[in-house]
Amino acid sequence: MKVLLINGSPHRDGNTHCALAEVAKALENEGVETVEEWIGTQAVQGCIGCYKCMELGRCVFHDGLYERLLNLLPEIDGLVIGSPTYYAGPNGSLCALLDRLFYSGGKHLKYKPGASVAVARRGGASTTFDRLNKYFTILSMPVVSSQYWNMAYGRAPEEVLQDGEGMQTMRTLGRNMAWLLKKIHASGPLCPEAEMPLVRTNFIK
């Protein structure tokens, strides 16, 4: 079993990484392989709503970050997305990436457990956490919870490690995801049967 952790902070080894590392450590202690991918500091192309991915099976824009993550999706069993909190929301570059990744590669994520982690100096973590969870709940992905909302606090690099409750929340999240993955794998590859055709209702016709 393998879980992908996406570090959505422009600071590679900052507090978001520290929180994700605590989740990864708990997963690995339960025998689950982990890989962390950092989004970097380069500009990230957002979705332009061209729908070409419906024809191509991938985004029309070619960039290394998107391609690398898209290629990982078929081989992972679970996903954890971490972000710092900017203006009470996730990092904009992360959202630009996730919009494209989930829309074009969603078939590789359906029914796989997902979890989000929000890191903040003080406020806004709840709305960051909520925004990230929206990606999972539109793709029938079981959302993994912890003993509290998956949030941790710190400003300076590694300051988040002083948040005892936050770090315990991260470890519990890792163990809970490992437990769910084992339950899913023990029951076999069967997934709920989707109701077809998929109904799309516009409010204005």
158-167 exposure pattern, b = at least 16 Cβ within 10 A, e = fewer? ebbbebeebb
| Tens-digit pLDDT string for the chain (205 aa) | 999 999 999 999 999 999 999 999 999 999 999 999 999 999 999 999 999 999 999 999 989 999 999 999 999 999 999 999 999 999 999 999 999 999 999 999 999 999 999 999 999 999 999 999 999 999 999 999 999 999 999 999 999 999 999 999 999 999 999 999 999 999 876 788 889 998 988 887 6
Other C-beta atoms lying within 10 Å of the C-beta of residue 149:
15
Threshold 0.75, pTM exceeds: yes
Structure tokens given for 62: 């070619």
Between the alpha carbon of residue 193 and those of residues 37, 111, 138, 162, 196, the distances in Å are 32, 11, 16, 45, 9
Q: What is the pLDDT of residues 45-68, one digit of tens each?
A: 999 999 999 999 999 998 999 999
> Domain spans of the chain?
2-187
Instruction: State the Cα–Cα distance between residues 49 and 170, nearest whole angstrom.
Output: 35
Under CATH, to which class is 2-187 assigned? alpha beta
User: Minimal CA–CA distance to 111: which of 81, 145, 77?
Assistant: 77
Closest CA to 151 of 22, 10, 2: 22
d(CA 104, CA 196): 20
User: For 133-149, what is each residue's pLDDT tens digit?
Assistant: 999 999 999 999 999 99
